[in-house]
Structure 1
Amino acid sequence: MIDLHTHSRASDGTDQPAQVLEAAAAAGVRVVALTDHDTTAGWAQAAAAVPRTGVALVRGTEISTRASTPAGGMSVHLLSYLHDPDDVVLRAACDRTRDDRLSRARRMAELLGEDFPVTWDDVVAQTGDDATVGRPHLADALVVAGVVATRDEAFATMLHPGARYYVPHYAPATADTVRAVLAAGGVPVVAHPGAGGRGRTLTDDDVAALAAAGLVGLEVDHRDHDAAARDRLRGLAHELDLLVTGSSDYHGTGKLNRIGEHTTSPEVLAQIEERGTLDVVRP
């Protein structure tokens, strides 16, 4: 089994990077991609766990971007696989996003603190060392404070984009980021492109425009896609000659997603590795 989308405490997962590989091994997953938000901080620890766990590692990042479409702007998460982590342009884009996420999280904590018993220190206590700070850490602080029972409840209420506590953050343009990933020797794949529960989604024309910019694939098999969305995206990928991936979007105990619940074919992984600058780290 090949799972190409997971998160660790380097961003908003609850497992350490090595523990993600341990969880993969326990679930029978033989290849896993670590794709923390806007960072490569977990790569080294995960790679060191490969010989012990017997799980191969695809090094990746989930990059926060924003697409400008005829219907308006929207958040788009772009998975980048096997890129050069020292590429100046891509690294600068991720660093700027991480910095803005931090100031955004501080402001949201201040707004939440006006109505709930939550402080910035409470949020920091839920964040791993050098982690990309995000709404999940705010959600965890709300859970610890007894304001909500789960992350999901926090996201559905006070952390929802329509809530007064929500603050947007900087994100580079999606098409520009696709080109930057390619220039860094990476393989760009749109994460959960049909996840309507997260907000507006890309239209077929939007995806076609990204394909023209060099997009390589779509994450089709994902828990946030119903059968109709998967059928549509699979057909679109075929039409645009894009790779089709499947992934869990595992966050440890931070989400219900189970590692290995959706997977990618060995043939697609081979094409990703052929296109990428880095090799898959194998036992």
Structure 2
Amino acid sequence: MNVSYDLHTHSTASDGTLSPAALVTRAAAAGVDVLALTDHDTTEGLAEAAVAAVGAGLHLVTGVEISVTWGGQVVHIVGLGFDPDDSNLQRGLAGLRRFREWRAEEIGRRLEKHGISGAYEGARGYSNGHLISRTHFARFLVEQGYSPEMRKVFKQYLTRGQPGHVAGEWAALDQAVAWIHAAGGEAVIAHPARYGMTRTRLRRLIGEFREAGGKALEVVSGSHSKDEAFTMAKHTRDFSLRASLGSDYHGPETPWTELGRLSPLPDNSVPIWRGWPVFTTAASA
């Protein structure tokens, strides 16, 4: 029996548009057997998702996507299969969320100076009372007519050199990996092709990640082309890492990253789930 995995998704606990329960229901309907909920810098949605997973007959893997600053650039590290009650992990995530709140307020102040009023309050409304991300600001700016679509609004307002950009220091790479491992999980570099790094710089990131104890690269991603997936698979072989895959699904508004539509891992990739108890359970269900 083929088992369908999606190990990178988001809910309203961060910047997704479906509740954790609705996300699980949609994933099950799409044929996903094993799902990881990996919200940004929070595990708040996991309890609700776990209850929904039992009802949907789907296996839920605990997950989180941790914001990291490496070499002056933001990268994301996904944690999988950890104990969400680990106190060290939760202290680290709480610190990142405090910074996120300050950053959101500062983005609002900067956009206000640029003549865009109510951006912070508008972004908070989209967040449903949870942490505020740049995606929530982007949704507000599109709704208000400042940009025609989500794909353009970041470049116009929220990236370096634009009026709503706020730089910041997130977790260190080795720190994020240590939090995940201390909680019993495995660390994965999320969508590595998306960072726009040169081959040399990306391989330096991968090398430092592996030295810190990192276990896998996200080879197949909703934002990777087939050629990028094959390139990332080669990096996993070169660095003796495993391969993960995930849609990076945020909601039905982005159908190009739909749940359950991922390509298989390239041949000769060692999947991160090899040896997981859930793999045996799902395969025999």
Calculate the TM-score normalised by the size of structure 1.
Answer: 0.88
Query: 1:214 is matched by which residue type in structure 2?
Result: G
> Which of residues 51, 65, 69 is equivalent to 1:66?
69
Aligned to 1:156: 155
RMSD over aligned CA atoms reads: 2.6
Distance in 2 (CA, whole Å) between partners of 1:44 and 1:26 is: 20
Cα deviation, 1:122-141, whole Å, max 9, x if unaligned, reads 12111123x22110111111
Distance in 1 (CA, whole Å) between partners of 2:90 and 2:21 is: 23
CA spacing shift, 1:274–1:29, aligned 2, 3 Å: closer
**Which of 140-149 and 208-217 deviates more?**
140-149
* Equivalent residues in 2 for 1:237-252, closer than 5 Å: 237-252=236-251
Distance in 2 (CA, whole Å) between partners of 1:240 and 1:16 is: 37
CA spacing shift, 1:225–1:270, aligned 2, 3 Å: closer
Q: Is the 8 A contact 1:2 1:263 kept in 2?
A: no
Cα deviation, 1:218-259, whole Å, max 9, x if unaligned, reads 001113223443222111101221111111000003534211
Query: 1:89 is matched by which residue type in structure 2?
Result: N
Calculate the TM-score normalised by the size of structure 2.
Answer: 0.87
Distance in 2 (CA, whole Å) between partners of 1:200 and 1:74 is: 13
| 1:220 partner SS | strand
Distance in 2 (CA, whole Å) between partners of 1:32 and 1:230 is: 20
Aligned to 1:258: 258
Q: Is the 8 A contact 2:111 2:163 kept in 1?
A: no
Distance in 2 (CA, whole Å) between partners of 1:162 and 1:90 is: 33
Structure 1 moving runs of 4+ over 6 Å: none
1:264 Cα deviation (Å)?
A: 6.5
Listed as ranges, the gaps of 5+ residues in structure 2 are none
Distance in 2 (CA, whole Å) between partners of 1:264 and 1:272 is: 18
| 1:252 partner SS | coil
Matched, 1:30 2:33: yes
**Which of 215-224 and 146-155 deviates more?**
146-155
Distance in 2 (CA, whole Å) between partners of 1:273 and 1:233 is: 22
Listed as ranges, the gaps of 5+ residues in structure 1 are none
| 2:97 partner SS | helix
> Which of residues 267, 271, 279 is equivalent to 1:268?
271
Q: Is the 8 A contact 1:188 1:217 kept in 2?
A: yes
**Which of 115-124 and 243-252 deviates more?**
115-124
Number of residue pairs matched? 273
Q: Is the 8 A contact 1:118 1:142 kept in 2?
A: no
**Which of 119-128 and 59-68 deviates more?**
119-128
Residue identity (%): 32
Aligned to 2:75: 76
Distance in 2 (CA, whole Å) between partners of 1:94 and 1:273 is: 25
